[in-house]
Amino acid sequence: MSKVIEIADYTWKYINTKMPALKDVNLSIEEGSFVGIIGPNGSGKTTLAYSMDGLIPGQYNGIKKGTVGVFGKEVEEYGRGELQRLVGVVFSDPEAQFTAMTVEIELVFGMENLGLTIPEIRERLEWVTELTDLAHLLEKPPYEISGGQKQRVALAAVLAMMPKVLILDEPTSMLDPVSRMRIFDVLAKLKAEQNNTIIVIEHSLEQLIPLADRMILLVDGETVLDEETQTFFRHTELLLGKSVYPPGALRFFHELSQRDRYRGDYPLTVADASTLLEDLI
The answer for residues whose C-beta is within 8 angstroms of residue 227's C-beta and 6 or more apart is 214, 215, 234, 235
Pairing of strands 34-38, 197-201: parallel
Mean pLDDT of 190-203: 92
Q: What is the pLDDT of residue 204?
A: 84
Amino acid at 146: S
> Range of 265's domain?
251-281
pLDDT grade, residue 129 (50/70/90)? Answer: very high
From the centroid of its chain, how far is CA 262? 32
Asked if the model's pLDDT at residue 175 lies above 90, the reply is: no
Asked if the model's pLDDT at residue 22 lies above 80, the reply is: yes
Mean pLDDT of 246-256: 90
Query: pLDDT tens digits, residue range 215-231?
Result: 999 999 999 999 999 99
Pairing of strands 34-38, 62-70: unpaired
Asked if the model's pLDDT at residue 106 lies above 90, the reply is: yes
Q: Is residue 266 part of a domain?
A: yes
Asked, as a colleague might, if the bond just before 57 is cis with ω within 30 of 0, I would say yes
- For residue 211, give the nearest of 230, 227, 191, 196 by alpha carbon: 191
Q: Is residue 255 part of a domain?
A: yes
The whole-chain average pLDDT of the chain stands at 92
Q: Is residue 263 part of a domain?
A: yes
Mean pLDDT of 111-127: 94
* CA separation for the pair 17, 2 (Å, rounded): 36
**In this structure, are residues 209 and 250 in contact, taking their beta carbons and an 8 Å threshold?**
yes
C-alpha distance from residue 203 to each of 170, 207, 247 (Å): 7, 10, 11
Q: Is residue 270 part of a domain?
A: yes
* CA separation for the pair 7, 25 (Å, rounded): 7
Query: pLDDT tens digits, residue range 199-218?
Result: 999 988 999 999 999 999 99
Q: Is residue 34 part of a domain?
A: no
* Percent of the residues in the chain that have a pLDDT greater than 90, as a whole number: 72
Q: Which helix (H) or strand (E) covers residue 55, if one does?
A: helix 55-58
Q: Is residue 127 part of a domain?
A: no
From the centroid of its chain, how far is CA 162? 16
Q: Is residue 138 part of a domain?
A: no
Query: pLDDT tens digits, residue range 143-154?
Result: 999 999 999 999
Domain total for the chain? Answer: 1
Query: pLDDT tens digits, residue range 48-65?
Result: 999 999 999 989 999 999
pLDDT grade, residue 1 (50/70/90)? Answer: low
Q: Is residue 171 part of a domain?
A: no
Mean pLDDT of 117-137: 95
pLDDT grade, residue 195 (50/70/90)? Answer: confident
C-alpha distance from residue 5 to each of 12, 27, 68, 142 (Å): 17, 8, 7, 32
